[in-house]
Structure 1
Amino acid sequence: MNKVMSNKAVIALYVIPALMFLLILVYVPIFLTGYYGLMDWNGIGEMKFIGLENYTKLIQDMKFWESSWHSVLLAIFSTLSLVIYLVVALVLSGKIKGADFLRKIYLIPMLLSSVAIAQLWLKVYDPNNGIINSLLTTLGVESPPAWLSEPDLVLYAIFVPIVWQYAGFYIIIYYAALKGIPKSLEEAAKIDGANPIQVALKIKVPLIMGVIKVTIILAIVGSLKYFDLIYVMTGGGPNGASEVIASYMYRQAFSTGAFGYGSAVGFALLVFCLIATFIIRKLTASDEEVQY
């Protein structure tokens, strides 16, 4: 077996198909996106090469920077929500009644599509018959807000279903990592007099820090390219108050017919994701690795 696996032809036989799929499905689309960004094109007719004109326009486009700021806010919110997911996972990993049932409950949003979740929360936020405003009216609030129609509230209102949508995903990741910690370490800490909070902060969290770093990258990069739920719920409105980079790219490419400019926005989004990943990896880099 070792002789076969040391054969370069056999290695190439295994590696080349994967490289071809990676090339076709990842790198070619990236190259084409950057290439289309150099064109004046509506997506159907003849392309006209205009050089860096789309990218120059992008730098001067305040709507693009406004949507970028919304994506950054969403990334910040998503990163902060990881604390909530981690706390829930810490609780579920302990000996509490109904932990198995709660884990199944948290996984429900993962079984639904983003469109279904958007439709559900549109009903929740309905200004006339929604659950939230009906409850506020019952409590004596005379004029409950129209959550998805007020520019100052819409982005925060959308953040709630996003947190709910991805709760099960991150909780399961943290739960699996916590369950991989040997019980002997926790028992030794308790013998030394550590309370549950100290065990969580001093033993469990440091031991799964590698997993936490990965989830931070997933949360930030995922937020920067988030699109579907926001597009279904608000379409980027009202007046661009909930527009993010991905929805702005879609609107430019398919709604206004500026496919070349939309491609430039998409390529800028790729660059932002790469920069964010690089910065996060640098900030969370550590020479020490906790082993157990």
Structure 2
Amino acid sequence: MNKVMSNKWAIALYVLPAFILLAGLVYIPIFLTGYYGLMNWDGVGEMNFIGLDNYINLLQDSKFWFSARNSFILALVSTASLAIYLVISLILSGKIKGSEWLRKIYLIPMLLSSVAIAQLWIKIYDPNNGMLNSLLSTLGFENLPAWLAQRDTVLIAIIIAVIWQYAGFYIIIYSSALKGIPNSLVEAAQIDGANPIQIALKVKVPLISGVIKTTVVLAIVGSLKYFDLIWVMTGGGPNGASEVIASYMYKEAFSNYNAGYGSAIGFALLVLSLLITIIIQKITSSKEDLEY
């Protein structure tokens, strides 16, 4: 084994398949996306080089900035919802009756496809026969909105669906991290007289701070490139009110046959996600993760 690991050709041979796969699925598509963004191209015919015109137009495109606003709102709310998921995970990590069953219930959205979840919430938000309006009507509310058809309610409705969709994903991450904390540390805090809230805030949460940082990055970057559920539920409507960067990119590339401009939007989304990831890492890098 030592002979193999000391042979540079042998190391290259082992690494080459993974490198080819990574290059073919990640690096080459990224390069091509940036390259196509320099072209005036309908996605099928001849490409005409136009330099940075697509990227300059992007900076002046009010529709792009509106979709970016919606993506950032989704990212902020998704990040804030991590606190809810963390609290639920902390409660479930305690010795409460039925905690295992509750974990399984929270995992149900993970078992469904985004299309199925979108159809489910479309039925819930139905203005005439939907469960939400029926419940509100029973409670005495009047002039109930058409949640997915009004500009002032559509984004709220989508955000609620997204938060529900990813609840199980983040809860299982936090629950797994909390299970890794040695019981001796919790017992020591209890002996010192700490109550459950103090144990959660001063013992458990600091010990999983590295996991929390990772979920923040996942929530923000995932929200910025979110597409499928929104596309099925509203298609970016009504009148672009629920448009996000990914759906705007899709419309430009495949509906308006402007693949060059769509590629520029996609490349801008990549750069934006990368910059935000770096910023988050810089902000949190000064704080060392606790070890146990």
Q: For residues 53-110 of structure 1, give each alpha carbon's deviation from its aligned partner in whole angstroms, at most 9, with x where no partner exists.
A: 1111101000000000100000000000000110111111111111111111111111
Give matches, 1:116-131, under 5 Å: 116-131=116-131
TM-score (norm 1): 0.98
Give the corresponding residue for 1:170: 170
CA–CA distance in 1 between the matches of 2:221 and 2:57?
A: 24
Give matches, 1:3-82, under 5 Å: 3-82=3-82
Query: How much does 1:286 deviate?
Result: 2.6
Letter in 2 for 1:31: F
Give the corresponding residue for 1:149: 149
Matched, 1:192 2:192: yes
Give matches, 1:142-291, under 5 Å: 142-286=142-286, 288-291=288-291
Q: For residues 203-255 of structure 1, give each alpha carbon's deviation from its aligned partner in whole angstroms, at most 9, with x where no partner exists.
A: 00000000000000000000000000000001111111100000000000011
Q: Which runs of 5+ in 2 are unaligned?
A: none
Q: For residues 120-150 of structure 1, give each alpha carbon's deviation from its aligned partner in whole angstroms, at most 9, with x where no partner exists.
A: 0000000000000001111111211111111
Query: How much does 1:153 deviate?
Result: 1.2
SS in 2 for 1:238: coil
Q: Which runs of 5+ in 1 are unaligned?
A: none
SS in 1 for 2:285: coil
Letter in 2 for 1:189: A
Letter in 2 for 1:245: I
Say what the alpha-carbon RMSD is for the aligned residues. 0.9
Change (3 A) 1:287 1:205: closer
TM-score (norm 2): 0.98
CA–CA distance in 2 between the matches of 1:279 and 1:40?
A: 33
CA–CA distance in 1 between the matches of 2:143 and 2:29?
A: 49
Q: For residues 169-228 of structure 1, give each alpha carbon's deviation from its aligned partner in whole angstroms, at most 9, with x where no partner exists.
A: 100000000000000000000000000000000000000000000000000000000000
What is the aligned residue count? 292
Give the corresponding residue for 1:135: 135
